[in-house]
């Protein structure tokens, strides 16, 4: 078996390369390549490990004909064209936890620097001025810290602030009341936070919803004398408005580690009293750089070797421990999706994916992804779990997940239902021995069959002599039958035949089958 091949294109801790090698990957370390050099070699690699220097553009992705995964050692993925990578079926991962403590500590350090005006005091002291009476700081004890964003980093900042005997209020649309109690913070709306906080720290990604979340209008609503810290992403704060607020004294101090434009060579904030800044150092500790490098190596190798998906930004997560259990379910799900995709006619505006029994106790997202990958093959042969949801969204498909932990006839079941112009149509399958995918129902008719290779699907009237007629037709055409599976609604009613054959069935044979007595539908299938 050929080893997966990985390229490390940015400077990274050397132990990352060792992890790739230990886990069965071939690895090349080539930092500092130009875009042209990267484009020339990227087609050789299954995985790409980067930091912030490498820009993974659409042009690079077009050249990456074998690429399966991109791993960013760090949180921000501004240097990766994620939508285009998704359309190409490339998984994009980051390492959001490797530098969490480092970034949170930097925010706390900036808060102390603001509270005690340390940078300005240091500068004047080193000039020999000894400005003992020129700086009057404030204590953080007893003050209210406002968290905008209470996720991983925000929760660490909250923990440190509570240890400093601060009160913490938090605004985060995804923060539940239970999680707020667990963190020891008060969940508030943004307007309340602005009016109550003595210090405000930001810990959100930059999205259309969060861009300029501290706009001029909102900065005007803040408590007079507030101090603002941003170690998250540039663009969360209106920098021109912040400058005006500092000049007026409404904002007592501001500390930025990030800017809307980086590198920040020129900013209206530079030189403003009570403003301090650092050059995006939030993740810059020895420990963090080692952590994210090792983490990205582990994540990429897990994906390439065992199918584990961790911290992916464009597909469901699937741990290396879950992967072996879910692998047969995903194989079943993809076959069911493919079957529906091949048999359904016209648009499929709604898709429902139901897991029952043992399947309902597993992570459903990868099962859903596999169904969509199989289903969307009706539109493109180069579909996988990454780009299938992307293609479905483009076509306006609505995907619904249903979980039923009660066992039915089978100990585990996956059912796929699609809305068609003729009404809902569903197929269902199970696992025999927890490993072997098996179809057990098609459009309401019970039938047990393996979905594999070339197959023929026929709907016909249940009448004597039909099996002989279809067998004779295939025999005359020199087509060997592998397996034969029958199901029917009732004696003499509608019947379904699924048979596997050793080769693709020519169109003229399909046409002749359609002319057989009692035949309603004939369809060649391939899995």
Geometric angle at alpha carbon 332, from 328 and 336, rounded to 5°: 170
CATH superfamily of 452-527: ACT domain (3.30.70.260)
Asked whether the domain spanning 100-277 has the same topology as the one spanning 5-97+287-306, the reply is yes
Dig out the tokens for 500 from the structure: 């596997």
- pLDDT tens digit at each of 527 positions of the chain: 689 999 999 999 999 999 999 999 999 999 999 999 999 999 999 999 999 899 999 999 999 999 999 999 988 888 999 989 988 989 999 998 888 899 999 999 999 999 999 999 999 999 999 998 889 999 999 999 999 999 989 999 999 999 999 999 999 998 999 999 999 999 999 999 999 999 999 999 888 889 999 999 999 999 999 999 999 999 999 999 999 999 999 999 999 999 999 999 989 999 999 999 999 999 889 898 899 999 999 999 999 998 888 888 888 777 777 778 888 999 999 999 999 999 887 778 899 999 999 999 998 988 998 999 899 888 777 788 888 877 888 788 899 999 998 888 899 999 999 988 778 889 999 999 888 999 999 988 999 999 999 999 999 888 888 889 999 999 999 999 999 898 888 887 888 999 999 999 999 999 999 999 889 999 999 99
- Single out the residue of 439, 428, 425, 441 nearest to residue 351, CA to CA: 425
- Active-site annotation, residues: 233, 262, 280
In eight-state DSSP terms, residue 518 is T
- Single out the residue of 482, 71, 251 nearest to residue 80, CA to CA: 71
Residues 55, 336: contact at Cβ < 8 Å? Answer: no
- Single out the residue of 399, 211, 375, 384 nearest to residue 314, CA to CA: 384
What is the helix (H) or strand (E) element at residue 511, kind and residue range?
Answer: helix 507-514
What distance in Å separates the CA atoms of residue 211 and residue 160, rounded to the nearest whole number?
26
Note if the pTM is more than 0.75: no
CB-CB neighbours of 218 under 10 Å: 18
- Single out the residue of 447, 521, 524 nearest to residue 487, CA to CA: 447
Q: pLDDT digit string (tens) for 115-137?
A: 999 999 999 999 999 998 889 99
CB-CB neighbours of 219 under 10 Å: 22
Residues 414, 404: contact at Cβ < 8 Å? Answer: no
CATH superfamily of 5-97+287-306: NAD(P)-binding Rossmann-like Domain (3.40.50.720)
Q: Which CATH class is domain 316-449?
A: alpha beta
Dig out the tokens for 27 from the structure: 């690895």
CATH topology of domain 100-277: Rossmann fold (3.40.50)
Across 134-260, the runs of DSSP E, i.e. the strands, are: 144-148, 167-171, 186-187, 199-202, 226-230, 251-256
Domain boundaries defined on the chain: 5-97+287-306, 100-277, 316-449, 452-527
Across 433-474, the runs of DSSP E, i.e. the strands, are: 436-442, 445-449, 454-461
């Amino acid at each position: 078996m050929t080893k997966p091949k990985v390229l490390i294109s940015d400077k990274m801790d050397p132990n990352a390369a060792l992890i790739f090698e230990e886990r069965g990957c071939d690895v090349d370390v080539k930092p500092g390549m130009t875009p042209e050099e990267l484009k020339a070699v990227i087609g050789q690699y299954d995985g790409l490990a980067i930091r912030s220097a490498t820009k993974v553009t659409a042009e690079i992705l077009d050249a990456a004909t074998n690429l399966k995964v991109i791993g960013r050692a760090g949180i921000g993925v501004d240097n990766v064209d994620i939508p285009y990578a998704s359309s190409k079926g490339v998984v994009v991962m980051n390492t959001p936890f490797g530098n969490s403590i480092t970034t949170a500590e930097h925010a706390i350090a900036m808060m102390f620097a603001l509270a005690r005006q340390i940078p300005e005091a240091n500068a004047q002291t080193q000039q020999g001025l000894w400005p003992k009476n020129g700086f009057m700081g404030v204590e953080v004890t007893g003050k209210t810290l406002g968290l905008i964003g209470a996720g991983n980093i925000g929760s660490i900042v909250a923990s440190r602030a509570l240890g400093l005997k601060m009160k913490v209020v938090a605004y985060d649309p995804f923060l539940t009341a239970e999680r707020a109690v667990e963190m020891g913070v008060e969940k508030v709306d943004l307007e309340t936070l602005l009016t109550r906080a003595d210090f405000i720290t930001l810990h959100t990604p930059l999205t259309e919803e969060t861009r300029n979340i501290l706009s001029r209008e909102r900065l005007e609503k803040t408590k007079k004398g507030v101090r603002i810290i941003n170690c998250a992403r540039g663009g969360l704060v209106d920098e021109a408005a912040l400058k005006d607020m500092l000049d007026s004294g409404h904002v007592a101090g501001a500390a930025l580690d990030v800017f809307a434009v980086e590198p920040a060579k020129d900013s209206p904030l530079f030189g403003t009293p009570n403003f301090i800044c650092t050059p995006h150092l939030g993740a810059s500790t020895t420990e963090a750089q080692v952590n994210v490098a090792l983490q990205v190596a582990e994540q990429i190798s897990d994906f390439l070797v065992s199918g584990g998906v961790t911290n992916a930004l464009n597909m469901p997560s699937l741990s290396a421990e879950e992967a072996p259990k879910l692998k047969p379910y995903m194989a079943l799900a993809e076959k069911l999706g493919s079957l529906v995709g091949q048999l359904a006619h016209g648009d499929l505006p709604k898709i429902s994916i139901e897991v029952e029994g043992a399947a309902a106790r597993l992570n459903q997202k990868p099962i859903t992804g596999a169904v969509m990958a199989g289903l969307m093959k009706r539109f493109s042969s180069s579909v996988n779990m990454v780009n299938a949801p992307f293609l479905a969204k483009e076509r306006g498909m609505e995907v619904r997940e249903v979980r039923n932990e009660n066992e039915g006839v089978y100990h585990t079941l996956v059912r796929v239902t699609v809305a068609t112009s003729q009404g809902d149509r569903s197929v269902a399958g199970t696992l025999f021995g927890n490993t072997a995918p098996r179809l057990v129902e098609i459009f309401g008719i019970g039938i047990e069959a393996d979905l594999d290779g070339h197959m023929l699907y026929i709907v016909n009237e249940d009448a004597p002599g039909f099996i002989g007629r279809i067998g004779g037709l295939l025999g005359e055409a020199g087509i060997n039958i592998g397996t034969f599976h029958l199901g029917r609604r009732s004696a003499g009613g509608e019947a379904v035949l699924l048979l596997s054959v050793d080769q693709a069935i020519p169109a003229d044979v399909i046409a002749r089958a359609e002319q057989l007595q009692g035949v309603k539908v004939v369809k060649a299938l391939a899995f």
